[in-house]
């Protein structure tokens, strides 16, 4: 799940809160560590790239 925050800057970068839809035992939360990078897909289409800034 992606919850956008604020508005995009000049480079089209935008902050967001990202989390897994399914939470609980077995959720791969280790995949979202500060400094990690990720690619977000909708089906087969790449829609965004990001980096993890911090964790709650």
pLDDT digits (tens, 9 = 90+) for 11-44: 999 999 988 888 888 888 888 889 999 898 999 9
Burial state string for 15-35 with b = 16 or more CB within 10 A and e = fewer than 16: eeeeeeeeeeeeeeeeeeeee
- Rounded CA separation 25/47 (Å): 28
- 8: domain range? 2-51
Q: What is the pLDDT of residue 2?
A: 84
Domain count for the chain:
1
Q: Is residue 56 assigned to a domain?
A: no
Distances, alpha carbon 12 to alpha carbons 7, 8, 34, 48, 49, in Å: 9, 5, 21, 11, 11
Q: What is the pLDDT of residue 56?
A: 65
pTM: 0.68
């Amino acid at each position: 799940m992606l919850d956008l925050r604020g508005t995009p800057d000049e480079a089209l970068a935008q902050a967001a809160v990202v989390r897994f839809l399914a939470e609980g035992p077995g959720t791969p939360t280790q995949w979202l560590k500060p400094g990690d990078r990720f690619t977000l897909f909708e089906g087969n289409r790449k829609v965004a790239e990001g980096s993890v800034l911090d964790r709650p």
